[in-house]
A and B are shown apart, each in its own frame.
Chain A
Amino acid sequence: MSGMPPSLAPAAKPGAKPATRRVAESRDQADRARLDAAMRGFISDFGPEAAVYMEACLHCGQCAEACQFYVETGDPKYTPIWKIEPFKQAYSREMGPFAPFFRAFGLTPKVTLGELEGWQELLYDSCNMCGRCSLVCPAGIDIADLVEKARHGMFEAGLVPGDYLGALAGKEQETGNPFGISREDVRRALLEIGRSHGVEMHVDEPRAAVVPTVSSIDLKMYPASIAATARVLNHVGASWSFRTDGFDADNVSLTAGDRTGQRLVTEAIVDAATRCGAEVLIMPECGHSYTEMRWEAANTVGHALPFRVLHMSEYLAECLDAGRLKLRPVTPDPEGRGVTFHDPCQLSRRSGRSDAPRKVMAALGLDLHELADHGADSWCCGGGGGVALINRARPLRDKAFAIKRRQVADTGAGTVIVSCTGCRQTFEHGFKDAGGETGVGSLLDLVAGQLEEDGKTP
């Protein structure tokens, strides 16, 4: 790493060229060059771990049985390990221990651009990177991790699907959020939410022990959640502040496979939190951004983070434990149907914190009816990994969502509690598309509504 700690480095210059330039350029690149770019994207940051995964696959097919896209459609092409097939081939030819022989004897055909185009649907539309397949694999192959690497290659070859995902990622690089909202607009919007919801809002304070981040989706669709964040942090008496220079945690670039964008977003947040001396960085109720910040950011910036990274439900659970968060139990619903809870894959399965949201729900006195598969075994809502951002994938997403709908129905619960904005959106769409009547509730919103005010700030 360079001598200058990233916290002192200037933020991304406004004039810096966004990576969309490369996407646009790639349209005109010769196929060959795009292919090479794909392989480069794939093998960069490819280490012994990924290589072991590549060598270990038995072709046993069990991962198919763990994937909702296969289970609900019965189409074998949705077998998780098949989704990275061209990259497996590329690995054999370019990086594997027998690569020289594979090349010399042509044992593995060179991947073609046409193949990669054909794989676009498999790598983007039909993979949530939820890691359920990684859990069933008898060889322990982290297929979700390999899909992430494969998407790097796809991005480099200009094969990010639709303009939607690509454009979102591009805007993210320009402005730090996928909707292209300027810092000033963000600041105004946050203050406005504080005013309209009657909650004290802290924005861009120079010093703050707790820095929450949010999803820009919340800014537009669920402003109440942002107000809830402020309300809870005020309640626990934290010194906190939103930072408009590191505010949006969506990291759409990560799901798009754009490492440059991913790194810019990550660095911006790390820098912002470091600058105000944060002790805790709270990730919003959103999955992939949490794993990125929690488990990868230190490697991206090249040093251990000077603050802790917590998911909102982890933070709530900690405050409960410390006695700083006091909650009134919810009034039981008259029908007595209770609630069920959808585990966000990245928190429960990928990070091992299924306990945190349950601790919070217990404090709320919720009548929790667990899904048949919950915790680490939970099925993804079908929207993760950026799939929710791909318009054309909606029919497939709805199909995959069927398993979730069935399991929710089986509990008899009237409401599904979620703790991830992405999941929340997918559930609302999914229930709407299927004409269901099950309600969807945010854990944070629930908490914010049940705060026990003990004469402190109202």
Chain B
Amino acid sequence: MKPRDTLGQKLAGYGISRRALLKFAAAAATSLALPPGVAPAIAESLSGARRQSLIWLSFQDCTGCLESLTRSDAPGIERLIFDFISLDYQETLMAAAGAAADETLVRAARDNHGKYLLAIDGSVPTAEGGVHSMVGGRTNMDMLAELAEGAAAVLAIGTCAAYGGIPKAAPNPTSAVGIADLVKEKPIVNIPGCPPIPEVLTGVLVNFLTFGRLPDLDDLGRPLAYFGTTIHDQCYRRPYYDQGKFAHSFDDEGARQGWCLFELGCKGPTTRNACASLKWNGGTSFPIQSGHGCLGCSEPDFWDKGSFYTSLSGGEGPPWDAVGGAAAVGLGIGGAAAFAARRSRAAVDRQLAKEWQRDHGATATSKTEEDGP
């Protein structure tokens, strides 16, 4: 092992001190929800970790995820992790193009077979054999199948890669799917979000570098450390929800007072993500803090769950004409039942009238005729 292959050496080469690494470890422990006491152990482990090869493929995506992960205006210490990672192939970032780029990919996959991490942003189109998204004449489906085979683990970055995202939204013309729908044999970690929070990817990488494995995942394949609680649970506006104080429109007094946005369609209660604690843009803010409800972008099928401005308790009730239709059907059936009952009653009345006629003849001041049919 060459000395520069460990992070410690590499950091030293950058002039990064032990204290800086320790500091980063403390931050990583915080973000991974590990006890703060383990920071020294993380630092030590990181310092001895080997350089990790990472191959990044972009499929049916908008590059927003990559923007989110790389466009940090003040590159923090987690930036170093990316530096330490050998980002062997990333079409958007790499200098190489054309055949040279392809060659890079082939070499990286061959040299680190079984050890590299495969990161993917964007969904995979499957309609018509996957021809809707191709790189260098090969479909995304093909590339995924081939490269996943040699990967140690797959990182599905962003909601599209994780669950299909916007390309999968109805009517889903390309039959887009998430990575987990196609890759069955490899461990997959989903880092959903539109875009995902950069710190989450860092945390997953730290976890992998430190402990050599992926973090604990929830039932939707997301790291529990970041997706274990709902936005609602961590939201600073939560006390207003508990007090029943809600903004009813985006410009009312409640909105100005910073009350709960539940009624304006905030999906916080059903969305698991770390936005409310890690926040965005270097911890500046997050959507709810800036006055807009959570869209639930890190949840599967978030685009197809009705309006972003329909509150959670709302749901999709039937429109008035359908209700009217149901009432009309009810009237019809009820009317038919009443008609049947009327007929049987009328038959009884007729029979009684006949008996009356027989027994009392002309005395019959019939009462049966005056009742309707």
Contacts and interface: CB of A to CB of B under 8 A. Distances in A.
A99 to B, nearest CB: 6
Contacts of B362: 4, 9-10
A257 to B, nearest CB: 13
B146 interface: no
Given A1-B365, A2-B364, A260-B359, A96 B344 contact: no
A99 B340 contact: yes
A6 B351 contact: no
B337 A98 contact: yes
A302 B359 contact: no
Interface string B338-363: 10110011001101100010011111
Contact of B356 (A6, A96, A97, A260): A260
Given A12-B363, A46-B345, A95-B344, A1 B369 contact: yes
Contacts of A17: 359
Contacts of B363: 9-10, 12-13, 16, 264, 267
A94 interface: yes
Contacts of B333: 97
B370 interface: yes
Contact of A99 (B341, B359, B360): B341
Given A40-B352, A97-B338, A302-B365, A12 B360 contact: yes
Determine the main DSSP class of A at the interface with B.
loop
A100 B365 contact: no
Interface residues of B, number: 24
Contacts, number: 72
A43 interface: yes
Given A2-B366, A9-B365, A97-B337, A43 B360 contact: no
A168 B277 CA distance: 89
Contacts of B337: 96-100
Given A2-B365, A95-B344, A16 B360 contact: yes
Contacts of A43: 341, 344-345, 348
A411 interface: no
Nearest to A268: B363
Given A43-B348, A96-B337, A13 B365 contact: no
Interface string B54-70: 00000000000000000
Contacts of B367: 1, 299-300, 302
A259 B345 CA distance: 15
Contacts of A46: 345
A96 B334 CA distance: 9
A40 B347 CA distance: 9
A346 B133 CA distance: 88
Nearest to A13: B361
Contacts of B360: 12-13, 16, 260, 264
Interface string A272-304: 000000000000000000000000000111100
Contacts of B344: 43, 94-95
A457 interface: no
Nearest to B349: A44
Contacts of B348: 40, 43-44
A95 B360 CA distance: 29
A12 B362 CA distance: 9
Contacts of A302: 365-367, 370
Interface in A94-111: 94-100
Contacts of A45: 349
Contacts of A9: 362-363, 365
A275 to B, nearest CB: 15
Contacts of A12: 360, 363
Contacts of B351: 40
Given A13-B363, A44-B349, A45-B349, 20 more contacts: A1-B365, A1-B370, A4-B362, A6-B365, A9-B363, A10-B362, A12-B360, A16-B361, A16-B363, A17-B359, A44-B345, A94-B341, A95-B341, A98-B337, A99-B337, A100-B340, A267-B365, A300-B367, A301-B365, A302-B365
Interface of B: 333-334, 337-338, 340-341, 344-345, 348-349, 351-352, 356, 359-367, 369-370
Q: Please name the 7 residue pairs, one residue from A and one from B, whose CB atoms are nearest each other, closest first.
A: A40-B348, A6-B365, A95-B341, A97-B337, A44-B348, A17-B359, A16-B360
